Amino acid sequence: MPSPRSMGAWASRLSSVLLASVVLVLTVATPAGAHSDRGVAGSNFAGQVLRTSDPMPAVSLRVTEFGDSLELLNGSPATVTVFGYSDEEYLRIGPGGVWRNANSPATYLNLGRDGNVELPAHVDPRADPDWRQVSTQPEYSWHDHRTHWMLDSPPPQVVADPDSQHTIIEWQVPVAYDGRPVTVDGELTWSPPPAKGLWWPLYLLIGLAGVLAGFLGRSGRPLALLLAIVTVAATWHLLATPQPGLTATDRALAMGAASLPTLALVGITTLSVRGAFRGNGLLAGMLAAIAGFMHFVQGLPDMDVLWSANVITGGPTVLARLSVALLIFGGLGLMVGSVGAVRRFRPLLAEPAPETRRAIAPT
């Protein structure tokens, strides 16, 4: 039987590890907004710019929010003018920043996705522009009703044939580059969502694996190995997700901030695997519970990925969907399975010998 001194030292070390882990959870276990596009992680819609009628050197224009918005970065010395829905000047994006026309209806219509807003009395697309600076950087993102599906109901093409891909809208946005008219052509497409009969059984199996590993595993190794797999998925998800920012510095800073939870998880996972392979199933189970919660919280903002055809990723869509499934359902399985592991592997204190019981009995 372990001596009281060794049991106390072991409990002290375990408490220190768990306390440090809890501090990490409270510090970094927050939803990772970098994995979504303005709060949207996946959609069956997708938009893209197809071509421009004339080149615009050093200008980048792309569709964001799966077709809902446009984002323009002007790295040239010229000014790019974006025109509104009545061909009025709406935006000016140049080296000195971004100016928006307060007399343009688009300034107010673009505030909401449905465009259902009451225009101020002074708004008139035929009036002289009233330019007001909204940014000091030559970049701007705006919601554009020409690029997305406006209704809450699905497009008629989708209703008629929900199992096929469709081109929903072929759109045009007029701009001017250094005063020269340019037409931007793009399209909005719709793709069928992933097959529920294939993916949802897999999601449930991932969760069940954590439960079985914790309640039926002969040691803490199966639970720790599953935790290692989920942490690898979290690392892949981080590296494959494009970070926000229009400059390399912005993206590097965003990557640094987004890496903190994953770095903490790698540390906790290492301790859990080490404990499991050294026969400490209790430590492995407790750390699996903490890491499972962190994985679950990190995966929740990306839940749309599980049932969406299009996702934000720099790698294969299948791997993005699988990694999110491991975060959410693997995290849940680890939390539940850790309950069984902690109950089964906690140290049992031997009853004191009869002589000891008599010595400590009250007189």
258 vs 14: which has the higher pLDDT = 258
- Antiparallel, parallel or unpaired: β 131-135 and 139-143: unpaired
Q: What is the pLDDT of residues 327-355, one digit of tens each?
A: 999 999 999 999 999 998 887 544 555 55
Write out the H or E segment, with its range, that includes residue 272: helix 248-277
Distance CA 5, CA 349 (A): 13
What is residue 295's predicted lDDT score, i.e. its pLDDT?
95
Q: What is the pLDDT of residues 92-146, one digit of tens each?
A: 999 999 999 999 999 999 987 777 788 999 999 999 999 999 999 999 999 999 9
**For the chain, what percent of residues have pLDDT higher than 90?**
68
What is residue 12's predicted lDDT score, i.e. its pLDDT?
45
Confidence class for position 236, pLDDT limits 50, 70, 90: very high
Q: What is the pLDDT of residues 202-224, one digit of tens each?
A: 999 999 999 999 999 999 999 99
* pTM (two decimals): 0.76
249-275 core/surface letters (b: 16 or more CB in 10 A; e: else): eeeeebbeebbebbebbbbbbebbbeb
Q: DSSP 3-state helix, strand, coil percentages of the chain (rounded to 5)?
A: 50, 20, 30
Confidence class for position 244, pLDDT limits 50, 70, 90: low
